[in-house]
């Protein structure tokens, strides 16, 4: 029932708003992002949506429903990209929302609920160091410290928001109350390889994983690499390597049986970092993500106790400090059921899976129940120029989005 050709053309057009020297780059707060949004605004209007921008820079296209007292059904995603990212991450969800509005118009379907299609401001980490700027503000969690954080030119996030036409002085009014969203449903590429490997067109997201980043400092003793006999060494990097390998083994062991668990050491600094010196100090960041809060709680401490016996002869000191922590976000079981039912009515195979990446839904879940529909992407690649989704995948996902919203409109408007 959706017009897949129109949607595909729109994806192609919006993706051409890119830094030509560095495809596909459309960073939030840049003139390119602004130009893309002006085009997007026209597309929203062509789909009969009334467009506004809130104090946090969220671009909102709204269609009234038959029952104005009902809270809105909300869909959307983001149109900013990471540096040298892809053509589908984010824009698919926004343009699919606009396509849903077109389809409703063309089939003269009126919803009971108002419908909002939102292009959330700066879902990717912005140059001010803050991600999910728009959805965070909707949850009332964009605070003064964040608004005053600067980019490399010294411009603050608040100043950046003013520059793009938002009014950060009205940011409090962008906040949406608990239970003010009837349902939030987002279509996104999976950004991983699971659906493609299982040859399934639709993923029904059960959780958005939570995560912890922990700064680990390992103190040994620096010394001459030629003159210090092996039994007398306190090598911080050898201890770090045991920790890195231990984290890899522990996540591999825990993952899959009951929970999704991934752990990564992606950053490591060695001192003195010289070819002829025993490493005296290592600073590293251990990141763990999971759909289980209890796994997040226990992972680092369990890891230390597992590797303790191997590390003991090295006589190093290990200290840990939590940098960030986010809890697991649950998708609503009611929305999961609706997506399952709709996909099966339309003849699409599905599986349940967690999202290992963060999304605006984490914050929008503070305003009402959320759900996410994933479609496969080529080789599971994302956040890179090779990111690709097939027309059939885009079409299937948008059909499921449309019919899920129609079903939710019926079920949620009943008292
Ligand atoms: Zn995204």
64, HSE (Cβ side, Cα atoms, 13 Å): 4
Ligand 1: centre distance to CA 63 (Å): 24
Residue-level pLDDT at 68: 87
Ligand 1: centre distance to CA 78 (Å): 6
Residue-level pLDDT at 9: 98
User: With contact defined as beta carbons under 8 Å apart, do 114 and 63 qualify?
Assistant: yes
Residue-level pLDDT at 256: 82
pLDDT tens-digit map of 69-98: 999 999 999 999 999 999 999 999 999 999
Ligand 1: centre distance to CA 205 (Å): 14
- Enter the DSSP assignment of 125: P
Ligand 1: centre distance to CA 246 (Å): 31
4-208+328-412 fold:
Aminopeptidase (3.40.630)
Its CATH architecture, for the domain 210-326, is: 2-Layer Sandwich (3.30)
Ligand 1: centre distance to CA 120 (Å): 10
Residue-level pLDDT at 212: 96
For ligand 1, a single-atom ion, the residues with CB < 5 A are 89-90
Residue-level pLDDT at 415: 64
Phi, psi of 85, deg, nearest 5 = -95, -150
Ligand 1: centre distance to CA 189 (Å): 8
Ligand 1: centre distance to CA 253 (Å): 29
Ligand 1: centre distance to CA 415 (Å): 34
Ligand 1: centre distance to CA 89 (Å): 5
At residue 156's C-alpha, the angle toward residues 154 and 157, to 5°, is: 140
Ligand 1: centre distance to CA 179 (Å): 24
User: With contact defined as beta carbons under 8 Å apart, do 224 and 278 qualify?
Assistant: yes
d(CA 237, CA 29): 40
Ligand 1: centre distance to CA 163 (Å): 23
Residue-level pLDDT at 101: 98
Residue-level pLDDT at 112: 98
Do strands 210-219 and 202-208 pair parallel, antiparallel, or not at all (unpaired)? unpaired
User: With contact defined as beta carbons under 8 Å apart, do 299 and 211 qualify?
Assistant: no
User: With contact defined as beta carbons under 8 Å apart, do 225 and 304 qualify?
Assistant: no
Residue-level pLDDT at 413: 84
Ligand 1: centre distance to CA 77 (Å): 7
Low-confidence ranges of the chain (pLDDT < 70): 415
Domain ranges of the chain: 4-208+328-412, 210-326
Ligand 1: centre distance to CA 90 (Å): 4
Q: What would the two tokens of residue 56 be?
A: 């946090």
Q: Comparing C-alpha atoms, which of 225, 228, 188, 227 is closest to residue 208?
A: 188
Ligand 1: centre distance to CA 285 (Å): 24
Q: What is the pTM of this model?
A: 0.93
């Amino acid at each position: 029932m959706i017009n897949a050709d129109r949607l595909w053309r729109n994806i192609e057009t919006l993706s051409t708003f890119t830094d030509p020297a560095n495809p596909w780059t459309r960073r939030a707060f840049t003139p390119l992002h602004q130009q893309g949004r002006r085009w997007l605004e026209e597309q929203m209007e062509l789909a009969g949506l009334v467009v506004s921008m809130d104090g946090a820079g969220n671009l909102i296209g709204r269609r009234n429903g038959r029952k104005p007292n009902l809270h809105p059904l909300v869909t959307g995603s983001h149109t900013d990209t990471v540096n040298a990212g892809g053509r589908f991450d984010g824009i698919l969800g926004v343009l699919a929302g606009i396509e849903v509005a077109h389809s409703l118009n063309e089939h003269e379907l009126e919803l009971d609920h108002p419908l909002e299609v939102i292009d959330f401001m700066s879902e990717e980490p912005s140059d001010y160091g803050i991600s999910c700027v728009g959805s965070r503000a909707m949850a009332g969690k964009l605070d003064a410290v964040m608004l005053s954080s600067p980019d490399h030119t010294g411009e603050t996030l608040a100043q950046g928001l003013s520059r793009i036409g938002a009014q950060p002085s009205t940011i409090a009014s962008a906040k949406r109350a608990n239970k003010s969203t009837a349902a939030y449903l987002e279509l996104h590429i999976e950004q991983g390889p699971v659906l493609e490997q299982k040859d399934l067109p639709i993923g029904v997201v059960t959780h958005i994983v939570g995560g912890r980043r922990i700064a680990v400092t390992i103190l040994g003793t620096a010394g001459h690499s030629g003159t210090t006999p092996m039994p007398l060494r306190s090598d911080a990097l050898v201890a770090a390597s045991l920790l890195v390998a231990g984290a890899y083994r522990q996540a591999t062991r825990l993952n899959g049986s009951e929970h999704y668990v991934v752990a990564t050491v992606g950053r490591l600094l060695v001192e003195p970092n010289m070819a002829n010196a025993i490493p005296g100090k290592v600073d590293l960041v251990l990141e763990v993500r999971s759909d289980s809060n209890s796994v997040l709680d226990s992972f680092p401490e369990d890891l230390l106790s597992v590797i303790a016996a191997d590390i003991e002869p090295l006589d190093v000191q290990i200290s840990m400090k939590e940098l960030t922590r986010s809890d697991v976000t649950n998708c609503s079981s009611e929305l999961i059921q609706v997506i399952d039912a709709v996909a099966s009515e339309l003849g699409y195979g599905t599986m349940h899976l967690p999202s290992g990446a963060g999304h605006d839904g984490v914050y929008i879940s503070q305003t009402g129940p959320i759900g996410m529909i994933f479609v496969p992407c080529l080789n599971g690649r994302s956040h890179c120029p090779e990111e690709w989704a097939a027309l059939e995948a885009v079409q299937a996902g948008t059909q499921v989005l449309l019919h899920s919203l129609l079903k939710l409109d019926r079920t949620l408007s009943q008292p």
